[in-house]
Amino acid sequence: MADEAHLDEDCIFCKIFRGEIPCFKVFEDDDILAFMDVNPIAEGHALVIPKHHSKNILETPSEWVGKTFAGAKRIAEAVHKTLKPDGINIVQANGPGAKQSVFHLHVHVIPRTMDDGLTMNWELVPGDIDDIGMLAEKIAANVA
Protein backbone atom coordinates (compact mmCIF):
# COMPACT_ATOMS: atom_id res chain seq x y z
CA MET A 1 0.00 0.00 0.00
CA ALA A 2 1.24 3.52 -0.76
CA ASP A 3 3.63 4.76 1.89
CA GLU A 4 2.04 8.13 2.67
CA ALA A 5 4.73 8.83 5.28
CA HIS A 6 7.38 8.62 2.58
CA LEU A 7 6.10 11.00 -0.07
CA ASP A 8 7.83 14.13 -1.28
CA GLU A 9 5.71 17.21 -1.81
CA ASP A 10 7.95 18.55 -4.59
CA CYS A 11 8.72 15.28 -6.44
CA ILE A 12 7.14 15.16 -9.91
CA PHE A 13 6.53 11.39 -9.65
CA CYS A 14 4.87 11.73 -6.23
CA LYS A 15 2.69 14.46 -7.75
CA ILE A 16 1.77 12.13 -10.63
CA PHE A 17 0.56 9.29 -8.45
CA ARG A 18 -1.28 11.73 -6.18
CA GLY A 19 -3.13 12.91 -9.29
CA GLU A 20 -1.73 16.46 -9.21
CA ILE A 21 -0.08 16.00 -12.62
CA PRO A 22 -1.75 13.94 -15.37
CA CYS A 23 -0.15 10.88 -16.92
CA PHE A 24 -0.94 8.19 -19.48
CA LYS A 25 -1.52 5.42 -16.96
CA VAL A 26 -0.78 1.85 -18.00
CA PHE A 27 -1.27 0.15 -14.62
CA GLU A 28 -1.77 1.02 -10.97
CA ASP A 29 -2.19 -0.93 -7.77
CA ASP A 30 -1.64 -0.14 -4.09
CA ASP A 31 2.16 -0.19 -4.47
CA ILE A 32 3.18 0.97 -7.94
CA LEU A 33 2.15 3.15 -10.83
CA ALA A 34 3.18 2.50 -14.44
CA PHE A 35 2.75 5.18 -17.07
CA MET A 36 4.07 6.20 -20.46
CA ASP A 37 7.24 8.28 -20.56
CA VAL A 38 6.40 11.65 -22.15
CA ASN A 39 10.01 11.86 -23.38
CA PRO A 40 10.17 8.40 -24.94
CA ILE A 41 13.34 7.07 -26.52
CA ALA A 42 11.29 4.39 -28.26
CA GLU A 43 7.63 3.77 -29.00
CA GLY A 44 6.10 2.13 -25.93
CA HIS A 45 8.68 3.47 -23.43
CA ALA A 46 7.03 3.19 -20.01
CA LEU A 47 8.04 4.01 -16.43
CA VAL A 48 7.29 2.06 -13.28
CA ILE A 49 7.47 3.88 -9.93
CA PRO A 50 6.85 2.77 -6.36
CA LYS A 51 4.39 4.66 -4.18
CA HIS A 52 7.22 5.26 -1.75
CA HIS A 53 9.56 8.19 -2.27
CA SER A 54 13.26 7.36 -2.18
CA LYS A 55 15.69 9.07 -4.49
CA ASN A 56 17.42 5.94 -5.81
CA ILE A 57 17.84 2.19 -5.38
CA LEU A 58 20.50 2.69 -2.71
CA GLU A 59 18.06 4.54 -0.44
CA THR A 60 14.95 2.48 -1.19
CA PRO A 61 13.91 -0.30 1.22
CA SER A 62 14.30 -3.72 -0.42
CA GLU A 63 10.57 -4.39 -0.11
CA TRP A 64 9.82 -1.43 -2.40
CA VAL A 65 12.60 -2.32 -4.83
CA GLY A 66 11.05 -5.78 -5.16
CA LYS A 67 7.57 -4.39 -5.75
CA THR A 68 8.90 -1.98 -8.36
CA PHE A 69 10.82 -4.61 -10.32
CA ALA A 70 7.91 -7.06 -10.13
CA GLY A 71 5.82 -4.27 -11.66
CA ALA A 72 8.45 -3.71 -14.35
CA LYS A 73 8.17 -7.39 -15.33
CA ARG A 74 4.41 -7.10 -15.55
CA ILE A 75 4.64 -4.00 -17.75
CA ALA A 76 7.37 -5.57 -19.91
CA GLU A 77 5.05 -8.52 -20.55
CA ALA A 78 2.25 -6.15 -21.60
CA VAL A 79 4.57 -4.08 -23.82
CA HIS A 80 5.88 -7.27 -25.43
CA LYS A 81 2.35 -8.58 -26.07
CA THR A 82 1.26 -5.21 -27.51
CA LEU A 83 4.24 -4.22 -29.66
CA LYS A 84 6.11 -7.50 -30.21
CA PRO A 85 9.52 -5.74 -30.20
CA ASP A 86 12.78 -7.51 -30.95
CA GLY A 87 13.78 -6.97 -27.31
CA ILE A 88 13.12 -4.94 -24.19
CA ASN A 89 15.60 -3.06 -22.03
CA ILE A 90 14.88 -2.68 -18.33
CA VAL A 91 16.87 0.37 -17.19
CA GLN A 92 17.22 1.84 -13.73
CA ALA A 93 19.62 4.76 -13.20
CA ASN A 94 21.07 6.03 -9.91
CA GLY A 95 22.70 9.44 -9.63
CA PRO A 96 23.83 12.08 -12.08
CA GLY A 97 26.69 9.92 -13.38
CA ALA A 98 24.09 7.39 -14.55
CA LYS A 99 21.96 10.17 -16.10
CA GLN A 100 19.17 9.88 -13.49
CA SER A 101 16.87 12.82 -14.20
CA VAL A 102 14.09 12.39 -11.61
CA PHE A 103 15.26 11.56 -8.12
CA HIS A 104 12.54 9.05 -7.24
CA LEU A 105 13.27 5.36 -7.84
CA HIS A 106 11.91 4.42 -11.25
CA VAL A 107 12.38 1.69 -13.82
CA HIS A 108 12.29 2.28 -17.57
CA VAL A 109 10.69 -0.40 -19.75
CA ILE A 110 12.02 0.27 -23.24
CA PRO A 111 10.96 -1.77 -26.27
CA ARG A 112 13.78 -2.24 -28.76
CA THR A 113 13.96 -3.07 -32.44
CA MET A 114 16.96 -4.27 -34.37
CA ASP A 115 19.06 -1.34 -35.59
CA ASP A 116 16.90 1.23 -33.76
CA GLY A 117 19.95 3.44 -33.25
CA LEU A 118 19.61 3.67 -29.47
CA THR A 119 23.05 4.02 -27.92
CA MET A 120 22.62 2.39 -24.51
CA ASN A 121 24.32 -0.77 -25.76
CA TRP A 122 28.02 -1.33 -25.36
CA GLU A 123 30.50 -3.52 -27.14
CA LEU A 124 31.81 -6.63 -25.40
CA VAL A 125 35.49 -6.09 -24.62
CA PRO A 126 37.18 -8.76 -22.49
CA GLY A 127 38.52 -7.48 -19.18
CA ASP A 128 41.58 -8.59 -17.24
CA ILE A 129 40.48 -11.80 -15.52
CA ASP A 130 42.84 -11.35 -12.56
CA ASP A 131 41.63 -7.78 -11.94
CA ILE A 132 38.01 -8.88 -12.25
CA GLY A 133 38.59 -11.68 -9.73
CA MET A 134 40.27 -9.36 -7.21
CA LEU A 135 37.51 -6.78 -7.52
CA ALA A 136 34.85 -9.50 -7.11
CA GLU A 137 36.45 -10.49 -3.80
CA LYS A 138 36.40 -6.86 -2.58
CA ILE A 139 32.75 -6.38 -3.58
CA ALA A 140 31.75 -9.74 -2.05
CA ALA A 141 33.28 -8.62 1.25
CA ASN A 142 30.91 -5.63 1.27
CA VAL A 143 27.70 -7.51 0.54
CA ALA A 144 25.43 -7.00 3.55
What's the residue count for the chain? 144
Geometric angle at alpha carbon 111, from 32 and 71, rounded to 5°: 15
Cα→Cα distances 40→44, 45, 112, 116, 144, Å: 8, 5, 12, 13, 36
Residue 106 annotated as catalytic = yes
Q: Which of 45, 52, 106, 108 is catalytic?
A: 106
Please state the separation of Cα 108 from the chain's center in Å. Answer: 4
For 17-140, strand residue ranges (E) read: 25-28, 32-36, 46-50, 87-91, 107-112
Active site residues: 106
